[in-house]
Structures are given as C-alpha cells and as structure tokens.
Amino acid sequence: MSARVLYVCVRPQRGAGEAEYESFRTAAGLSPDELDSLDLVRDPMPDLDDYAAYLIGGSPFNTVDPESSKTEPQKRVEAGLAQLAAAASDGGPAALFTCYGIGVATRTLGGEVSRAHREDTGPTFVTLTEDGERDPIFGGLATRFTALTGHKEGSAEPPPGAVLLARGPSTAVQAYRFGDRLYATQFHPEASTTAFTERMAIYRDDGYFASEDYDVLAARVMGATVTEPMRVVRGFVREFG
C-alpha cells in the first residue's frame, strides 16, 4: 500500500468511476500516488485498517430499491459500505460518504431514506447549521453556498446520534457527521461543473431528468460556481489522510 487514502468506486460504469476518481483526486489536491482506487462493484473491500481515510463516490444504485431487485454487485457494494460506516462510526478509519453513499451510511446508522426526498439534477443552495459552522471541516466554508445534486432518494432527518451540518431546500439533510470520523454529504463535493455535465451525459437516460432537458440543465450547471464543496474533500483529507 502506497497511499493512506482510498477512493471507493460504487458505479457499475467504469468510465464514470474513472472520471469520478479524477474529480476526487483533484478536489483533494492529491497526486495519483497519494490516492488509491478500489472498484467495489467488482472487487472486495480491503482490510479496513489498510487506509487511514476513505472517499466514497456516487452511484445509480438506490438504497431504497426493493431487496428482490438488487443485483449481486449492488448487494456487495452495500455490504461493504455498511461495514465501513459501522467502523468509521465506532472510531475506525475515517470515511466521507457522498451521494448514494450517504443513503447506505444513514440506513446503517439507523436512519431513514426515502424517495420522497429526491432532488432535481443541477445546482442547489446548501446552508450550514450552527453545528456546521463550528465543525472542523465545514466550519471554514461559506455559510451558504452552491452545490451540485441529482438524486432519487434522500432523508428528512439525520440518523440518530448524528450532527446535522448542512441543510438544503428540497432535501433537508445535505450533510452530517457521526462521531468524529464519519462524514456524509447528499451533494457532490468532488465534481467540477464540467465533470458533472459529463456525468449527466452518461446517465441522461437513467431517470434523473428528462433526456430532452439535458442541454438546458447542462447550461445551468456550467453557469454555477461550486468551489466551496470541493473544500470539503480537501479538508477531510487534510484532517484524516
């Protein structure tokens, strides 16, 4: 093992995962030698003590999908992320769960995830709570900033025992911390506007938005300024990596 930080890909589409790795690496300010990558869709989780910190990306999977409809790769992904969430919540290696990852973490910690809290694809406003303003990582951010979202599920409340760090207009839980070492964001903290529109093109027929609306939504994304979310990734790696 050469790096202390591991990016965990949970996307079945290899190209989307490779691009997401680069987004996380850039946001974190790490070289390729400083950020390892794991394709959890196809490979098992390592010994969790092999890394000091984990960055979990997004996925077209949904935690609220009926168990009978989940493929074996999705079940393997959810089992691995649940294991990591349990370890991070209990003082183990630090983990930053994003997008789909927040759903698995929330469910693992006893919270509820629902399709009633889906989000439109594109920029949204994120507002820090008072706890967020005092948080070691979120406290350095602007109290209100723009972030990129696009999700079919979300939560009205953080899981029991978690500290709500940020809220949003359509999904109340945009970020929380559990203990000192588990962070979770509903929004995408890693993606630039260009990277996000490229990801939108990959998933334009997956039900996140009407396919014919791609150009309008992509233009809206490209017009947004999303520098603050990336500071979450960099701050997390600085704190735990």
Q: How confident is the model at residue 218 (pLDDT cuts 50, 70, 90)?
A: very high
Task: Quick: pLDDT tens for 40-78.
Answer: 999 999 999 999 999 999 999 999 999 999 999 999 999
Measured CA to CA in angstroms, residue 171 lies from 26, 36, 46, 115, 239 at distances of 27, 31, 33, 10, 27
pLDDT at 2: 56
Q: Fill in the DSSP letter of residue 223.
A: T
pTM, 2 dp = 0.96
Q: Is the separation of the CB atoms in 123 and 221 below 8 Å?
A: yes
Task: Quick: pLDDT tens for 119-164.
Answer: 889 999 999 999 999 999 999 999 999 999 998 898 999 999 999 9
On the question of pLDDT at 207 being above 80, the answer is yes
Question: How much of the chain exceeds pLDDT 90, in percent?
Answer: 91
pLDDT at 172: 87
Rounded CA separation 185/175 (Å):
4
Q: Which domains does the chain have, with CATH numbers?
A: 5-191+226-240 (3.40.50.880)
On the question of pLDDT at 190 being above 50, the answer is yes
**Mean pLDDT across the chain:** 95
